[in-house]
Amino acid sequence: MKRFYRWFMDAWPIWSAALIVGAHRLSLQAFPQKVEETNTVFSLGLQIIGGLMVLYSIDSNLAALRGQNIWLLIGQWFRNCPLWSKPKTSKFP
């Protein structure tokens, strides 16, 4: 299960965006009279967070992108899913 969690968290930009969208919807429900202000605050926050995510992703993936394309990286990510691989067991003599 720990391997699955690590694999699942490699897609952190998607999960963080889902959390932000959820927080936006909750704030719109909590403050229905302040829609414009809520949208303004969240748009500013999303632009800042998006810029930071792009910088982090470029920095962490710069070496990984050499000699490969994005489709190979996505395919490799899916092949590394622990659900498709057999668990490693140790054999003792």
Model's pTM, two decimal places?
A: 0.51
The string of pLDDT tens digits covering residues 71-90 is 777 788 888 887 777 666 66
The string of pLDDT tens digits covering residues 42-67 is 899 889 888 887 877 776 676 666 66
The string of pLDDT tens digits covering residues 5-47 is 888 777 777 787 788 889 999 999 998 899 999 999 889 988 9
Per-residue model confidence (pLDDT) at position 16: 79
Per-residue model confidence (pLDDT) at position 26: 93
Find where tokens 């920095």 sit: 59
With b meaning 16 or more CB within 10 Å and e meaning fewer, what string describes 38-77? beeebeeeeeeeeeeeeeeeeeeeeeeeeeeeeeeeeeee
